[in-house]
Amino acid sequence: MAVSSSSFLSTASLTNSKSNISFASSVSPSLRSVVFRSTTPATSHRRSMTVRSKIREIFMPALSSTMTEGKIVSWIKTEGEKLAKGESVVVVESDKADMDVETFYDGYLAAIVVGEGETAPVGAAIGLLAETEAEIEEAKSKAASKSSSSVAEAVVPSPPPVTSSPASAIAQPAPVTAVSDGPRKTVATPYAKKLAKQHKVDIESVAGTGPFGRITASDVETAAGIAPSKSSIAPPPPPPPPVTAKATTTNLPPLLPDSSIVPFTAMQSAVSKNMIESLSVPTFRVGYPVNTDALDALYEKVKPKGVTMTALLAKAAGMALAQHPVVNASCKDGKSFSYNSSINIAVAVAINGGLITPVLQDADKLDLYLLSQKWKELVGKARSKQLQPHEYNSGTFTLSNLGMFGVDRFDAILPPGQGAIMAVGASKPTVVADKDGFFSVKNTMLVNVTADHRIVYGADLAAFLQTFAKIIENPDSLTL
């Protein structure tokens, strides 16, 4: 078999003992027709297939598992500009970060559907890509018709999940309409076939109205000239209850004079959604005092080498989780839980306008100095909103530290999909008594852990905190 290909069409010639198949193509600016001819015996047939011009839609990609819509930060390319495959076209703000969106195809940015500063749901068309300059005007006309039509009437296929970075918006070609005067395969529901046999209807002659031309029971009944059965007609949805003015106003307190309403940003919306989701998880909290004298001494020694306190705490938590894997487990469906194969410590970071949790992956295995270097890189990317999805959505345990603000204790809200989160307070001089009753002053910090009670029990959490405290109070193992 010999095959030759171009940027749009492929031609092939097949040779065997029975038939020779060849086809020719003709192309016009708006319509491309491919005609297949077969030199077979008398049973041969002729097929024609019509393919629309290659105007592709650039979709709003899903940049994270929680993203439902994205905001256009800026268009890198302008309308009419030529694009190369893999080239960045637009910058999109997701619920976590700003990311460049690439194109999968060569062509021209024919039209911008969603402008800078505007938002669009995941899967919606944000721009049109034309294959040739001749198709730009046609694409602009298509964009104009899209903007004038209702968004509710637009049917947009969802793009596949993002698996690589930078993000790539999957531009889909226009649908293909195939017309064939040869034999075709009849697709019908089993009940439709049964009815056709019962009423002696030639099912090959019935036009299907179901998805992709599938023949349904109502199609057969219509062809047989009988009224459709009640079972084949879906009852109309009940009308929504009328909304009264009282119902819309009694639940909302009136705004104070000179107040203003500020809509959530994409990140704040994501945080709000996660916090509401976390309310459905049964949690409990356990606190534990930890002596930090030895940790403070170690920190003073390694601080000049670039080691941060966050890295020390993450390393200690990772080593403790390795001994208590149930605290690193997760329950996502309410019916089972899974032991995670990696210990990925997510650390809460406050940024302008929100909160994000960069993830230190394999925190129990990385060298302390490498862990600190990685953490500094993640914080820099978080502050500039350049984190990639795997750098903020792969955490298995979360660490939240407010000790630098002088907070002595607090409770943290459990993130959805994780088994536990640790809240770390400030280390402060505290009067303590030893086992012999002698008093002394030692630096002590309080840690509170919030856990999912479906998979972690009190004894599990207490044992984990004891191990964590031993590592902090004897921190030499952190530098090994």
Q: Tell me the C-alpha distance between 448 and 412, whole Å.
A: 8
Residue with tokens 């198709």: 135
- Number of other residues whose CB lies within 10 A of the CB of residue 292: 23
What six digits make up the tokens of 303? 């601080």
Q: Which among 45, 324, 390, 453 is annotated as catalytic?
A: 453
| 453 a catalytic residue | yes
Nearest to 73 by CA among 63, 86, 83, 85: 63
Q: Tell me the C-alpha distance between 73 and 384, whole Å.
A: 13
Which amino acid is residue 25, in one-letter code?
A: S
Which amino acid is residue 111, in one-letter code?
A: A
Do you know the residue count of the chain? 480
Q: What is the 3-state secondary structure (H, E, C) of 258-296?
A: CCCCCCCCHHHHHHHHHHHHHCCCCEEEEEEEEECHHHH
Alpha-carbon distance values, 113 to 63, 108, 127, 434, 448 (Å): 19, 14, 5, 70, 49
Three-state SS at 164: coil
Residue with tokens 């960069």: 358
CA 470 to chain centre: 39
Nearest to 37 by CA among 59, 21, 50: 21
Give ∠ CA 338-340-345 in degrees, rounded to 5: 130
Three-state SS at 368: helix
- Number of other residues whose CB lies within 10 A of the CB of residue 5: 9
Nearest to 220 by CA among 200, 240, 242, 250: 200
Q: Check: CB of residue 376 under 8 Å from CB of residue 370.
A: no
Q: Tell me the C-alpha distance between 72 and 120, whole Å.
A: 8
Catalytic residues: 453
